[in-house]
Amino acid sequence: KDFRNKVKPNWCPGCGDFSVLAAMQRAFANVGLEPHDVAIVSGIGCSGRISGYVNAYGFHGVHGRALPIAQGLKLANRGLTVIAAGGDGDGFAIGMAHTIHAIRRNVDITYIVMDNQVYGLTKGQTSPRSEMGFKTKSTPHGSIEAAINPMEMALTVGAGFVAQSVSSDLKQLTHVIEEGIKHKGFSLINVYSPCVTYNKINTYDWFKEHLVNLDDDPNYDPADRSMAMQKLMENNGLVTGIIYQNKERKPYEDMIKGFKETPLSKQDIMLTREQFDKLVAEFA
């Protein structure tokens, strides 16, 4: 069960995305998957390259559109473990509408966001995840827009699984990805994945100083949605671990009447001449 392939990532040395890749590969093996069980759909950005670096099915989509493709894949073949992956620009700027609707729709896929709070691929502009005051070539006097808090956003639109981690904690990162895969329904995992080239504020050291690990709090209950919201608000979103999980909510697929477990590709959908004529008559 080796999920590594021979492609050498062309991320900058030290980029947080290396850990996300390693954690994904470990998590797949740990939950007992084989390469032919997994499909990774990515968007555009430095992080979008990840679908080419895993020994599994890969689909490098268009900007902000990994989620529609990933949901379609899952509905066409329920047997696949489908992972969508991308950056904060991909998921929380151009793709934000898809993110919100995929969360509330609840198709059983796992969405991993590599959140570096900047646009890396286009050489360092402010993203919707950049904090106010963040200076880049697109905001030379500092950003004057409020940053999106994706974890709070997810809770308010009905998420069933919300987790966050950081590239420097490979153990926790692997664990939350495993739990996200095992969760029945849409899982959102936001990973603080530092861009060492264009974000000199939100660095590995900065996260070490600011992140609060929920795994260290024995009284924290991820089934309690209001506790989750309170923790996020108290810490400006800077918490890691499984923030919220609703194990009762059914995935979308389970609620479609007559939806077949057998993938479309394996269903016998040949029509007899009579059935075909009847169908045509119905549409006439």
Binding site for Mg ion (CB under 5 A): 87-89, 116
207-222 burial, b at 16+ Cβ within 10 Å, e below that, comes to beeebeebeeeeebeb
Among ligand SF4, Mg ion, none, partner that 88 touches (CB below 5 to 8 angstroms by kind): Mg ion
Among ligand SF4, Mg ion, none, partner that 12 touches (CB below 5 to 8 angstroms by kind): ligand SF4
Q: Which of 92, 111, 198, 244 binds ligand SF4 (CB under 6 A)?
A: 198
155 binds ligand SF4 (CB under 6 A): no
d(CA 132, CA 117): 11
Site string for ligand SF4, 97-116 (x = CB under 6 A): -------------------x
46 binds ligand SF4 (CB under 6 A): yes
195 binds ligand SF4 (CB under 6 A): yes
Structure tokens at 56: 């599994």
C-alpha angle 43-45-51 in degrees, rounded to nearest 5: 50
- Listed in order, strand segments (DSSP E) in 1-72 are 38-42, 57-60
What is the β-pairing status of strands 38-42 and 81-87? parallel
CB of 148 to Mg ion, least distance (A): 12
Name which of 3 and 92 has its Cβ closer to Mg ion. Answer: 92
d(CA 149, CA 106): 20
Strand partners, 157: none
192 binds ligand SF4 (CB under 6 A): no
Contacting residues toward ligand SF4, per CB under 6 A: 11-12, 15, 17, 46, 116, 120, 195-198
